[in-house]
Amino acid sequence: MSKTFLRPLLIVGALLVPAVASAAPAVATTNVNLRSGPSTAYPAVDVVRGGASVNVHGCLSNRSWCDVTYAGLRGWMSSNYLAQSYGGTRYTGTRVVERFNAPVISFQFGNYWDNHYRGRSFYRDRDRYRGLDRGDVRREVREDRRDWRDERRDDRRDWRDDRRDDRRDWREDRRDDRRDWRADRRDDRRDDRRDYRDDRREDRRDGRRLGPNEVVIEGRIN
């Protein structure tokens, strides 16, 4: 194949590389460890602060862990702590992974650690972590999912409790309003009756002051 023909292909290939290597932006929902592998059994690289931005390069096929870059550091985060807002809707967990359609990747321990952690203190213990049992990793994934479900259940319970408290407060306010309204009506009626009795009493007193043949005409007694 001639060099003249290869040159356009190389240019096209170079243009395609940024698109393949592009990362999707997301934010951390809380303070969470950036791990050196897709499990809490791997050493922590750093702590991602809640609300901090990360770039997601890809996620495992089960969407439980994602390979991200944070503050120039490369590592893995549980998808339970990733979020992204779009069109006024906030996506979290596996929903955010599906939202930006993160590519499915696998974790290649040797290459990954060689490329990113040679200067780290835990790199010298890589043989110990290289032998992590896949069953341990799966157990970690299950535990992370269980924790996420527990948090979701707690959030729903708190929401229901808040709704119940709001309804109870509303009913109590309505009951207080009705009680105050009845008390006001009772006071008004009592005042009306008292005023009526006072008027009757004054009328009777004025009548006793007049003689039997006297009447009041235009303010004069005749």
- pLDDT tens for 41-60 read 999 999 999 999 999 999 99
| CB burial string 107-139: b at 16+ within 10 A, e below | eeeeebbeebbeeeeeeeebeebeeeeeeebee
Mean pLDDT of 8-26: 49
User: Letter for the amino acid at 47?
Assistant: V
Pick 14 or 221 by higher pLDDT: 221
SS3 of the chain: helix, strand, coil, percent, to 5: 55, 20, 25
- Quickly count: other Cβ atoms within 10 Å of residue 42's Cβ: 22
Q: pTM (2 decimals)?
A: 0.52
* pLDDT number for residue 124: 93
* pLDDT number for residue 98: 83
pLDDT level of residue 10 (50, 70, 90 thresholds): very low
Mean pLDDT of 116-125: 94
CA angle 151-59-16, nearest 5°? 145
* pLDDT number for residue 5: 39
Q: Rounded to an integer, what distance in angstroms lies between the CA atom of residue 172 and that of residue 178?
A: 10
pLDDT exceeds cutoff 60 at 94: yes
pLDDT exceeds cutoff 80 at 121: yes
Distance of CA 155 to the CA centre of its chain: 9
pLDDT exceeds cutoff 50 at 19: no
Q: Rounded to an integer, what distance in angstroms lies between the CA atom of residue 68 and that of residue 73?
A: 8
133-187, pLDDT tens digit by residue? 455 556 666 777 787 788 888 888 888 988 999 999 999 999 999 999 998 999 8
pLDDT exceeds cutoff 80 at 2: no
* Residue whose pair of structure tokens reads 């972590």 in the numeric block: 129
Pick 31 or 218 by higher pLDDT: 31
68 bridge partner residues:
56, 75
What are φ and ψ of residue 142, in 5° steps? -60, -40
Q: Rounded to an integer, what distance in angstroms lies between the CA atom of residue 100 and that of residue 91?
A: 10
Q: Rounded to an integer, what distance in angstroms lies between the CA atom of residue 82 and that of residue 91?
A: 8
Residue 210 tokens read as: 């007049």
Mean pLDDT of 27-40: 95
pLDDT exceeds cutoff 60 at 13: no
* pLDDT number for residue 65: 93
Q: Rounded to an integer, what distance in angstroms lies between the CA atom of residue 88 and that of residue 54?
A: 20
* Selection from 97, 91, 85, 95 nearest residue 38 by Cα: 97
Mean pLDDT of 129-134: 68
Mean pLDDT of 115-132: 89
